Amino acid sequence: MLSALPMGLFAQSSVKLITLDPGHFHAALIQKSMYPQVDPTVHVYSEEGRDLKLHMDRIEGYNKRNTDPTAWKEQVYTGKDFFQKMITEKKGNVVVLAGNNRLKTDYIVQSIQNGFHVFADKPMAIDSKGFKKLQTAFTTAQKNGLQLYDIMTERYEITTMLQRAFSMEPELFGTLEKGTAEDPSVTKISVHHFYKYVSGSVLTRPSWFFDDKQQGAGIVDVTTHLVDLIQWECFPEQIIDYKKNVKILNARSWTTPVSSADFTAVTKEPVPSYLEPIRDANGDLQVKCNGEFTYQINGVNAKVSVVWNYKAPEGTGDTHYSLMRGTNAALIIKQGKEEQYKPTLYIEQRTKDPNFEQKLKAALVKVESKFPGIGLAKHASGWIVTVPEKYNNGHEAHFAQVTEKFLGYLQNKNMPAWEVPNMIAKYYTTTKAKELSEKSK
């Protein structure tokens, strides 16, 4: 088992991946790159079906691409007892999970109980019952020297990293305001689309993705990233105790209509019987994919919101808005038409300090030492942080970055003390917000 390796003996290919029940394209994106310490043979355990075929097609595409092809060797088992077979055979030491969320938390718990490390896509829990199971998994992992980690790719988006870095310059930013429930000092809004391109092709969604009982409602899905970023940016390297530091104030969920034709266009399948109950009078599916909530974290009022539309207008895509309001400056990420739909970080002065620009340039020197090449450009509302194109590597590239971080933690046994309690706090926040949204109908 990997965790038993002595320090200094983290040999090449000592990590042996197992892909369990892949159903989401993120499972394949982990393998868009190769890693020197990861064995090229990957064991896949899953039922036969379209989800598996789509996963295997993506891996094959990476292996056969013209530029920097991968060399993965997939060994697939498709018996009905695939999960028990995985447990019994122990062909690997790291279980990768990205798929149908209905069973994911149980998969996590049992994988940890049987001695596997787990590298899981979000969300690791989709309701309060799942949250309690997840707590058990973390306790067992700690006891047995195992690593349980979720795939937080958004920490590697350049404007998010820069927003965090500038907020850590007190002469410029001041201190994070507390805000109010009506006017939070921290806001994150994410807009997504069912119809989108991944690895150059239109993404085929699994039918279950539209079922909140299997995928999870929107308020516990993409919001996982937003809550993670609030913790990671606003309270860097601080432990969040959900029992003391988190209070959900209000929450709501709502649906997006999807016609049968649009459903079939992105799934390549007719509407299954289990989705019939969410049809409205017009025959459209009312998909419970949107959600927002406000909450207090360490006394700071924050808001997260996730909206799903069917398809983005031509030339656009998923978008992100992020506000951090300090006493001296506001740091705002926008991704609208003015920004040509590319994430852009703005810095706005909030005081009448005549030395603000001088402090901004001093902060830039410090931040630029970590991100060489960034600069500032004047804007009507303040300044724009200019970013060299080399940093705009895209969402898919972030999967290799977070995987390398995970592998580093395995090798060095140096996962920061705040990571696990903050993952627990994060899933408490999302599942508690879901619980409140259901009571608020």
The predicted structure's pLDDT at residue 441 = 59
293 neighbors 436 (Cβ within 8 angstroms): yes
User: How far apart are alpha carbons 215 and 222 in whole angstroms?
Assistant: 11
Q: How confident is the model at residue 416 (pLDDT cuts 50, 70, 90)?
A: very high
The predicted structure's pLDDT at residue 275 = 97
Average pLDDT estimate for 152-180: 98
User: How far apart are alpha carbons 28 and 74 in whole angstroms?
Assistant: 12
The predicted structure's pLDDT at residue 10 = 41
Q: How confident is the model at residue 202 (pLDDT cuts 50, 70, 90)?
A: confident
Burial of 36 (0-12, 13-18, 19+ CB in 10 A): exposed
- 170 contacts: CB under 8 Å, gap ≥ 6: none
Q: Does domain 155-391 have CATH number 3.30.360.10?
A: yes
Whether the bond between 257 and the residue before it is cis, its omega within 30 degrees of 0, is no
Average pLDDT estimate for 68-76: 97
- For residue 7, pLDDT beyond 50: no
Question: Concatenated DSSP letters for 401-420?
Answer: HHHHHHHHHHHH----TTHH
Note the pLDDT tens digit of each residue in 109-165.
999 999 999 999 999 999 999 999 999 999 999 999 999 999 999 999 999 999 999
User: How far apart are alpha carbons 111 and 74 in whole angstroms?
Assistant: 20
* Model pTM score: 0.93
- For residue 11, pLDDT beyond 60: no
The predicted structure's pLDDT at residue 319 = 87
322-325 LR contacts (CB < 8 Å, sep 24+): 322/160, 322/163, 322/187, 322/188, 322/189, 322/229, 323/185, 323/186, 323/187, 323/188, 324/163, 324/167, 324/173, 324/176, 324/185, 324/186, 324/233, 324/234, 325/176, 325/177, 325/179, 325/185, 325/186, 325/350
According to CATH, where is 3.40.50.720 located in the chain?
Answer: 2-150
Of the candidates 159, 163, 199, 164, the one whose C-alpha atom is nearest the C-alpha of residue 335 is: 159
The number of C-alpha atoms within 13 Å of 40 and in the hemisphere containing its C-beta is 9
CA angle 202, 254, 280 (to 5 degrees): 80
Q: Quick count: other Cβ atoms within 10 Å of Cβ 309?
A: 15
- For residue 426, pLDDT beyond 70: yes
- For residue 175, pLDDT beyond 60: yes
The predicted structure's pLDDT at residue 395 = 83
CA angle 56, 62, 63 (to 5 degrees): 85
User: How far apart are alpha carbons 123 and 114 in whole angstroms?
Assistant: 21
- β partners of residue 301: 296
- β partners of residue 309: 193
Average pLDDT estimate for 2-11: 39
DSSP code at position 271: P
Coil, helix or strand for 72?
coil
CA angle 73, 199, 225 (to 5 degrees): 100
Amino acid type, 425: A
298 neighbors 170 (Cβ within 8 angstroms): no
Average pLDDT estimate for 278-299: 97
Note the pLDDT tens digit of each residue in 230-265.
999 999 999 999 999 999 999 999 999 999 999 999
- β partners of residue 291: 253, 306
131 neighbors 17 (Cβ within 8 angstroms): no
Mean pLDDT value across the chain: 94
Coil, helix or strand for 439?
helix
Average pLDDT estimate for 27-45: 97
Of the candidates 283, 319, 61, the one whose C-alpha atom is nearest the C-alpha of residue 188 is: 319
- For residue 4, pLDDT beyond 50: no
307 neighbors 324 (Cβ within 8 angstroms): no
The predicted structure's pLDDT at residue 13 = 62
Question: Concatenated DSSP letters for 208-242?
Answer: GGG-TTTT--GGGTTHHHHHHHHHHHHSTTPPP-H
CATH number listed for the domain at residues 2-150? 3.40.50.720
- For residue 314, pLDDT beyond 80: no
User: How far apart are alpha carbons 90 and 78 in whole angstroms?
Assistant: 16
348 neighbors 381 (Cβ within 8 angstroms): yes
According to CATH, where is 3.30.360.10 located in the chain?
Answer: 155-391
Structure token digits, residue 226: 């937003």
The predicted structure's pLDDT at residue 5 = 37
Average pLDDT estimate for 313-326: 88
Q: How confident is the model at residue 214 (pLDDT cuts 50, 70, 90)?
A: very high
Report the relative pairing of strands 148-150 and 117-120 from DSSP bridges: parallel
User: How far apart are alpha carbons 150 and 405 in whole angstroms?
Assistant: 11
124 neighbors 104 (Cβ within 8 angstroms): yes
